[in-house]
Each structure stands twice: as C-alpha cells, then as structure tokens.
Structure 1
Amino acid sequence: MFDKAWNPAPEILFSHSANDLIDNAGHVSVIVTNYNYEEYITECLDSILNQTHKALSLVVIDDDSRKDSSVEKILEWMEENKDRFFSIKLLKNIINQGPSASRNTAIQHCPSDTIFIMDADNTIMTTAIAKLHDCLQRSDAQGVYCQIVEFGDRNQIGSADLWDVERMYRNNYVDIMAMMKKSAWAQVGGFSHIEEGWEDYDFWLKFIDQGIDMVFLPEILCRYRVHGVSRTAIEAHKSHYDLEIIMKYRHPGQPKVEEYK
C-alpha cells in the first residue's frame, strides 16, 4: 500500500534497542521528520528525551538534508541518549521525498501500536506524551490532539478546538502534532503528497472520510515554531484557492453529521 517505485527504502544510519521487554499497551513511538533543521534539532530531541512518559521509542527520518550538518548532530545525540529509549533509530531518505512520504516511512519503522508525530523544528512540553496517552486510553477515539502555542517569529495560542466534522470541512485547525493509533494511520492509507502543502489537512479529512474519531485535550502541550523557512510562514496562503479545489476534489462527500454524534 505504501511502497512506491519512487519511494526507495531509506538508509538506516543508527539503530539501537533495549534488551528488556516493554508493555506495548503503554509504548509510544515518537516520529520526527528533519530537513535541514540543524539549528533546531537538538532542542526538539531534548524535549522528547525529557518526557515523563517512560515507555518511549524514537524514529527520526532525515529527508536528504544537504545544506547543514543536522544528520551528524542527530547521530551524536542518539549515541549519547540511546539508553533512554526502548528503541531508537535514524533513517535517511536517499533522495528527497517530502514530509508525507517521510512520515509514512518512519511510521512503518516504529515498533509500537501508538505513535506521536512532530517536525524537527518544534518541541513538546515534558508531560505531553504522558497526558496525551492517558487521554487516548480513557477515550474511544483513535487519536488525540492538544492545544499548541506558536513561538519564534509569531507568539500566540493556536486555534485547536473540539473535533467538529462540519467545521473541519471548512478549514483545518488541528496540527499534525498529535497522538494516534498506528492502525488509524494505516486505515486511511497514510499521508498523501499534496503539491504546495496541506498534506496535514488532507490527512485529517481522510480520518473523517473513514469515520475515525479524534478527541481534543484542551491543554497547551506542544510548541510550534514559526520561522522564515517553516511551512506555515511559506505556504499558509500560497495557492490557497487551488488547494481548496484539490481538497474538495479529494473529499467530495460531505459527511452526515449525525454519524459522528
């Protein structure tokens, strides 16, 4: 389903697993995508290292970075901190694949049934994984997301709110920094590449198409960095009209709201 001729297998630059067994019910894999984020990657990884949730694995995928030394930084960090994680791995695309294919590849390599996704320029609060996992366990939903705070070139609270099908079809207000069951990701066919962006929005609309429910944890647990090369700064309004048409074409069926109540 996810193997494509133009999506070659990544190189495995680092891999380490603990010898002791782990309870998979509490096991969470954090997926980090990196592309020339040498300036931010250590802060991102440190925020994962300092999580209060103990049963963690980490999969970092580099999307063929060539403009900086972020891969070397990640390798050094992993060697120093590998014993914190049940499993830790660094993958590297041999050609640039974009965020959607990179995330799909990384998720295929994660060893747990529950995953959390983030980009290498963002960070999470120390209790983020623990609180999101607890919320997911106590709900009937397949995924959980929280409120975010933007920092860097723009400082403000995010726009996350209760999961509402009608509102989501009008615009996206759920960041990809979310925890979900790996089975839900597989059910929707993973992430799809969308030219000019909006892959995250398309991913959530596929959840709605499949009747997969998400739950909102109204607490600031994730930090989204806005900077000159972030996707928000570059593509927030770029090709907006064309992307709206693409979304309507990809998701033509307005869901029956009563099905989600």
Structure 2
Amino acid sequence: MIAENPHSVLIEKNADQASDVTVCISLYNYEQHIVETLESVKAQTLAQLDLMVVDDRSTDNSLVVTGMWLQENADRFNQVKLIRHRENRGLARARNTTILLAETPFLFILDADNLLYPRCTERCLGALLSDPNAAMAYPLIEKFGEEEEVIGNVVWERSQFLRENHIDAMSLIRRSALLQVDGYSYLDAIGPLGLEDYDLWCKFIDAGLYGIPVAEILARYR
C-alpha cells in the first residue's frame, strides 16, 4: 500500500466533465523551466485533461510561479490541483502523492523540466485503449540540451532490463497498475541516482505487467 505523505492542497478546481488522463508533475526547484513545461501540457490535443502538480517543498520561486500559472490557465483543464508536501520527501514520494490523489484511470508522469509535444497524451492514450492488458505506453523521447539523441526505441522484454534502464519516466500508466505494485519505491538509502523509474519497470515485470511502445517522438527530455 502506498503511504500518504502529509501535504496541503493549495489550489483545487473541478469541472463537471470527467477526464481519462491526469498529467502528474513532480516539482522541486524548477522555477526556470516549469512554465515552459506547463505550456506544453496546456497545448495537448487531448481535450479532456486533468493536471496535478506536487511541490516537494521547493526553496526557489517554483511554487509561486506555478500557482500563478495554474490560476490563469485553470479553465483549460477539467481538474487542477496544486499540492505542497509539508516537508521535502523526494521524487518517489512526490510521484506517489499524485498516484493517491489522482481520479483518472491513466496518469502521465512528467518531470518539471521536460516537455510534451501536442499529440503526446492523445497518442499514448490511444495505444493503451487499443491494448486493455497493457499497463503503460511509452513514446519515443527526444533529448535536447547537452545531449541530443532519441530514447525509448525498445520493445518491452525482460532481457532489456537486465543491465540498465531504456525507458524514461515520461509514460502514460494505468493508475490501477501503479497501485498494484505500491507505486514508486523509496530508494533513499542508495542516494539520488534516479533509479525510481527503473525500479518501477522491474516491479511491473515481476508482477506480470508490460508496457507498449508508441513509435513516435512525442516528448522532449532536458
């Protein structure tokens, strides 16, 4: 079972319409990138969409910048939530907060400095709806900045995960699958190595779950 992290709800807006997808953003000290990330979510071609941002006690202006943007753009989404942890809890716990509080069957996991192309959530949702047994859909992702390459061009097979991770966190995942494996593991003891995604995929494999690739560049990784 996923443990609840003490938090405050700073913004909550609900509409009468229901969405299939929540874009879940974990935020910690990304004031310089968060607006660009939010704008890429706003530009999604999937009309019915929820948005949740969990601030993990940022020490810069991330919370203020995000709050202002959400107030100005709340009407784009069916449901908007801005959550703040009462103390810094780390990436895995921030993502788990979104899993617990989301109300849609599908969650798109997005870090606060990465970007989505407009058709990302629509195309990933279409892939999952076409395969009701798949736990997640992962797109091709374009790296930009210091490194430039395309990642995610792999088939989901156990052998692919024996040595290293080939699939980024930016994926559309069934909330039921995340709950089945108790969400993201807390890997504090081994330090900030960014292995939460790798660990989650391994838990999926152990549970007999699988992901499906979406053969289209739909996101950008900084």
| Residues in 2 aligned to 1:159 and 1:126: alpha-carbon distance in whole angstroms | 18
Runs of 4+ in 1 over 6 A off after TM superposition: none
Aligned to 2:65: 73
From 196, 200, 204, the counterpart of 1:203 = 200
* Aligned partners of 1:169 and 1:205 also within 8 Å: no
Aligned to 1:143: 136
**RMSD between aligned alpha carbons?**
1.1
State percent identity of aligned pairs. Answer: 36
Kindly report which structure 2 residues correspond to 1:84-99, keeping only aligned pairs within 5 A, or say none: 84-99=76-91
From 140, 154, 158, the counterpart of 1:161 = 154
Per-residue deviation, residues 41-92 of structure 1 (Å, max 9, x unmatched): 00000000000001100010011001x1111000100010001111000011
Aligned to 1:3: 3
Kindly report which structure 2 residues correspond to 1:54-73, keeping only aligned pairs within 5 A, or say none: 54-66=47-59, 68-73=60-65
| Residues in 2 aligned to 1:193 and 1:58: alpha-carbon distance in whole angstroms | 24
* Aligned partners of 2:2 and 2:179 also within 8 Å: no
| TM, length-normalised to structure 2 | 0.94
Kindly report which structure 2 residues correspond to 1:165-244, keeping only aligned pairs within 5 A, or say none: 165-194=158-187, 195-196=190-191, 197=193, 198-225=195-222
Matching residue's letter, 1:147? L
Return the offset for 1:11. Answer: 1.0
Answering whether residue 46 of structure 2 is matched by residue 49 of structure 1, we say no
| Residues in 1 aligned to 2:160 and 2:31: alpha-carbon distance in whole angstroms | 37
Return the offset for 1:169. Answer: 2.0
Return the offset for 1:159. Answer: 4.5
Unaligned 5+ segments in structure 1 are 226-261
Aligned to 1:112: 104
Aligned residues: 217
Return the offset for 1:167. Answer: 1.6
* Aligned partners of 1:30 and 1:59 also within 8 Å: yes
Query: The residue matched to 2:162 in structure 1 has which SS?
Result: helix
Once structures 1 and 2 are overlaid, which stretch shifts more, 82-91 or 134-143? 134-143
| Residues in 2 aligned to 1:205 and 1:142: alpha-carbon distance in whole angstroms | 13
Aligned to 2:10: 13
Larger Rg: 1
| TM, length-normalised to structure 1 | 0.81
Return the offset for 1:21. Answer: 3.0
Matching residue's letter, 1:21? Q
From 73, 92, 100, the counterpart of 2:92 = 100
| Residues in 1 aligned to 2:103 and 2:200: alpha-carbon distance in whole angstroms | 22
Query: The residue matched to 1:152 in structure 2 has which SS?
Result: coil
Q: Which structure has more RCO (C-alpha within 8 Å, separation ≥ 6)?
A: 2
| Residues in 2 aligned to 1:157 and 1:172: alpha-carbon distance in whole angstroms | 14
Per-residue deviation, residues 123-142 of structure 1 (Å, max 9, x unmatched): 00000000000011011312
* Aligned partners of 1:161 and 1:218 also within 8 Å: no
